[in-house]
Each structure stands twice: as structure tokens, then as C-alpha cells.
Amino acid sequence: MDTNKIKKGLGRGLSSLIGETKAEININKVSISDLASNKFQPRKTFDEDSLQDLTNSIKERGIIQPIIVRKSSDDSSKYEIIAGERRWLAAQKAGLHEVPVVITDVDDLKSLEFAIVENVQRNDLNAIEEARGYQRLIKEFSYDQEKVAQFIGKSRSHIANFLRLLNLPEPVLKLIETQKLTPGHAKILVGLNNAEFVANKIIEKNLSVRQSENFVKIFKINKKSFKNLKDPNLQSLESSIVEKIGLNVLIKSKKNNSGSITFEYKEVDQLNKIIEIIKLNY
């Protein structure tokens, strides 16, 4: 694929991508029930307020921009939406029976490209949806980060940063998807063992990105200092217990040889395991 053609195409919008495919010149009218969602649609959530605004607009003026479709490979009687799923949903809410479409003849790769371009250009995707769209181009269609960057019209660092977000724990990904955590905040959390804890603290304290960076730095310094000061014999003992029971253990010892042992559990079954071990041995 010619990268210059890609960049030029994105500059003109989706119409240029249609020009690269076999599209019927005339705009067709098809029944709403004859359309099916795009199986490559990267967008999983649709803002209800925004969808209602579009619904009201369609009621007043109809659908101005046609929906781009292709013949469904799963059901020959239907068309699969490539771009315009939001318009299709709003048309249903508006009570329309037919919608204007442009029928194209495209493969799965082009279908995914259409869907990603439309959403990225309109800023309709949250960071995780966008990252997963890039990931599909890489995993399923053998793109590399450079090719994705050229196609989407973003920098390679932008693509790399979004892909790194997918390494975060699922609870943190949910916070990003629901916009409780911004991509700027999330980028700071990548690589942290306690990313979920820090994420919740950022939200709880309403920290800015800069404040979050400082918070993480302080946390890392304190953790490093603690490890350096800890008795290596205690560290060895902790490790041996962890290997035996499979749970995190923290041993604190004072100068008078008193102290405490803390067992960390994340679910009831793990708590029961600790209790059973104590009961069996004491």
C-alpha cells in the first residue's frame, strides 16, 4: 500500500477511501432491518446524550451522509455496516424504516480500516477502543507500528503509547473506558505492580497528571528505600514463605525482636487457606 496515498486519503476523509474501492455511484436506499453491525467495529460504547442529539437531527433533516456498507459474509440477505453505525442506531431511534447507503466491495482489512479511520477522525473512540483497533491491525493483518502510524495519520509514539495501555490490569482499563481516568494518567501507571491501587488513589484525590507523576515517583523512592534497609534474612524468610503458601507475606521486626507478620489475600478462598494452615499446625 502506498503510504503517500494513505496520508493523502486520510486528509480528504472517508470519501477518498471509498474511491479506492469498487463503490456503486448511486446512493441506495435499504431497509434498516437489512443492516448488521460491523464485526470489526472498534467502538463498543456510544454516548447516549450524543446519540439522542443525532436522533433529533435525523428527525428534522434526515440522514445527510450515507452509511457505507458491504455484503454480509454471514448472511447474504443483509449488508454489514463499515462506517456509520452511530447513524444507523440513531435512525432506528428516530423511527426511520429506510436509510441511504453506499455499497462497497471490500475485504476484512479494508472494513477494519474504514471503521478505525471514521472513529479516530471524529474522536469517537476512548483510548482503549482506539488501542484495540491498532492491535487488531497488527495482530490480524500484519501491520507494524510504523505502518499503523502512517495509515492513521498519527505519530509512531502515539501508537506505541496507546498500545502500552493494553498491558494495564483489566480494572484500570475499565476506568479508562468509562473516562474516570485519562490516557495521560494511565500512561504513568504502565509497568507498576500496584497500578490499580495507584489509579484509585489518583481518582480519589483528583490528581492532575503532573501530581500523579510526582505521587508515583515518591512511592517508588519510598519502596526502594524500604527494600534497601530491610534485613536480608527477613527478605529470605519472606521469600521462603511465599514459595510455600503462594501468598504475599510481609515481616516487620523491631530491635527488641518483637514484630508482626502480614499475609496478603485477594479473595475469600485465599483467606480460608491461611486459616486452614494455622489450624492444621497449631
Q: How many residues does the chain have?
A: 282
CA distance 129 to 119: 10
Q: What is the 3-state secondary structure (H, E, C) of 191-259?
A: CCCCHHHHHHHHHHHCCCHHHHHHHHHHHHHHHHHHHHHCCHHHHHHHHHHHHHHCCEEEEEECCCCCE
The single-letter code of the amino acid at 140 is: E
Which residues share a beta bridge with 153? none
- How do 98-105 and 67-71 pair as beta strands? parallel
Please confirm, yes or no, whether 85 is among the known catalytic residues.
Answer: yes
CA distance 137 to 129: 13
CA distance 40 to 129: 11
CA distance 28 to 271: 63
Compute how many other C-beta atoms are within 10 angstroms of the C-beta atom of residue 48: 8
Between the alpha carbon of residue 7 and those of residues 107, 119, 219, the distances in Å are 20, 16, 43
CA distance 107 to 205: 48
Catalytic residue among 80, 85, 113, 118: 85
Q: Which ranges in 106-208 belong to alpha helices (H)?
A: 108-121, 127-141, 145-152, 156-165, 170-177, 183-189, 195-205
DSSP for residue 57:
H
Give me the active site residues, please. 85
